[in-house]
Structure 1
Amino acid sequence: MRIIALLLLCCLSNISFSQNDQIFSEANSLYNDGKYAEAIDKYESILDTEQHSAELYFNLGNANYKLNNIAPSIYYYEKALLLAPNNKDLQNNLAFAENMTIDAIDEVPKVGFSRLTNNLVNTFSMDTWAKIAVGGVLLFVIIFLTYHFSYTSSKKRVAFVVSLISLFVAFFSLAMSFQKESLNNKNNPAIIFAQESRVKTDPNPASEEVFRLHEGTKVQVLESYDDWRKIQLSDNSIGWIPSTDIKLLKVF
């Protein structure tokens, strides 16, 4: 019975993917005909089936950009970049969309040891750092066995040094992998969807207003409280905003 259930599930999944491919093609045709709103409806119907891809988000961003929908176009380009971070077309289109935003927020650069550490950690992905760590351990085992079974002192010295280096690389890469995971967990970006949002000092409508943000601006969400989100801008400004005014990027 379990095998039959799995076969049925696979068949249903294949049918769903096939239908989504057809809808995607129809949406592309609508886009090419300049029917951007209709194309968006088609693309979003694919998202309703919980199928996600960089190409789908890219096309959604393009369709919204054509309609001058600032927040949705930036939102979907950013979502696509999460899945394809090195795509140059995505990066260029996002830059064009960001030119439509009102808020001009300076970015505070990291300096000193913090900058050096972040640059080093971001050299590779978390998985790549983990693979390097595993490779270092395997190399250590192989070289250590070479050291153990070598008969000449010169070979033993070389094997000993190389084994220590490989072990250091393994532990260092493991530490970088954990640090990368920590940075990823802290990174919780969101896009302002309200045409204008009043940022408060506290999660309370009656609290003092500190500044205002407009649609399309990217923020970092630090914490949540009831229907409020504590946000931080690239210039390190902090405040509270209604959760309905933003959309989280990492929610798929």
Structure 2
Amino acid sequence: MKKIIFILGAILLSISLSAQNDLLFDSGNKSYNEGKYQEAIESYEKILNEGVHSSELYFNLGNAYYKLNRIAPSIYYYEKALQLSPKNKDIEANLSFAQNMTIDDIEVVPEIGLSRISKSIINRFSFDTWAIVSITLIMVFAILFLGYYFSSATSKKRLAFIVSSSAIILAVVSLFFAYQKYQYVQKDKPAIVFAKETDIKSDPNLRSEVVFTLHEGTKVQVLEIYDENWTKIKLTDGKTGWIPSEDIKLLNNI
């Protein structure tokens, strides 16, 4: 009986919190439409503080910050929205507008040759999809191998052998792609610069040489964290350096 009461209490609490968040979201939208962008942000962030995350919430936050000319948080929340709704045209368009407000113009060095082709193929699917494809092909191999083993007709044995061999080869390739995709995801640690201006150092200490300077809104890749105070970053043009950890905000952190 106590368990039932506990479950019912949890359900009622969940419904209550959901209704409260809906009211906050509507309140934020109302404030935004009235031009009260800071009030809208406060309503949206109260929802975030409850542990609720959605592309719509991040998108609205990005819009509100954009209206206040707050470059870094607007880009940050557009990027967060895009993580949850990839290829959403509205988010992509607004992110592009916000990025046009940044100071740093960093060249993107494209990958070439086999590396570009293989990465393009691997990134077509998620890690889970590649793993499912691999498992499916292994099952196909097992079934066809049994058909090869028990078949008495030469033509059927030959066909089963050829197809089963192809299936196991493709399964190994898919498994390799799944592993590579997993590695890409693990290494992908994007962050947004939040400091108005920050010097990037050659080593993780204040006395080291300044190698270049970045400004708010620039997107970087995190390579390494040292002593929680310094973070090694990489730009799209290949440059690397150390930035104070407090000057950036990781996108992959919920």
Shorter chain as denominator, the TM-score bin is: over 0.9
Cα deviations across residues 33-85 of structure 1 (Å, max 9, x unaligned)? Answer: 22111111100100001111111101111111111110011000111111111
Q: Which amino acid aligns with 1:36?
A: Y
Q: Counterparts of 1:216 and 1:100 in 2: how far apart (Å)?
A: 8
Residue in structure 2 matched with residue 32 of structure 1 by the alignment? 33
Cα deviations across residues 198-248 of structure 1 (Å, max 9, x unaligned)? Answer: 111111112111111000000011111121111111111111111111100
The yes-or-no answer on 1:141 pairing with 2:125 is no
1:210 partner SS:
strand
Matches within 5 A, 1:34-113: 34-113=35-114
Q: RMSD value over aligned CA atoms?
A: 1.4
1:9 Cα deviation (Å)? 2.7
Q: Which amino acid aligns with 2:141?
A: F
Percent identity of the aligned residues? 55
Residue in structure 2 matched with residue 230 of structure 1 by the alignment? 232
Q: Which amino acid aligns with 2:22?
A: D
In the superposition, relative to structure 1, how do residues 201 and 131 fare at CA in structure 2: closer, same or farther (>3 Å)?
same
| Gap runs ≥5 in structure 2 | none
Residue in structure 2 matched with residue 180 of structure 1 by the alignment? 181
Q: How many residues align?
A: 252
Q: Counterparts of 2:30 and 2:96 in 1: how far apart (Å)?
A: 25
Residue in structure 2 matched with residue 154 of structure 1 by the alignment? 155
| Gap runs ≥5 in structure 1 | none
1:18 Cα deviation (Å)? 2.0
Larger displacement relative to structure 2 (17-26 or 136-145) = 136-145
The yes-or-no answer on 1:251 pairing with 2:253 is yes
1:241 partner SS:
strand
Q: Counterparts of 1:237 and 1:175 in 2: how far apart (Å)?
A: 29
Cα deviations across residues 140-163 of structure 1 (Å, max 9, x unaligned)? Answer: 223223333433211121111111
Residue in structure 1 matched with residue 243 of structure 2 by the alignment? 241
Q: Counterparts of 1:152 and 1:128 in 2: how far apart (Å)?
A: 36
Q: Which amino acid aligns with 1:232?
A: K
Residue in structure 2 matched with residue 219 of structure 1 by the alignment? 220
Q: Counterparts of 2:158 and 2:29 in 1: how far apart (Å)?
A: 64
Larger displacement relative to structure 2 (110-119 or 59-68) = 110-119
Q: Which amino acid aligns with 1:215?
A: E
2:130 partner SS:
helix
Q: Which amino acid aligns with 1:145?
A: L
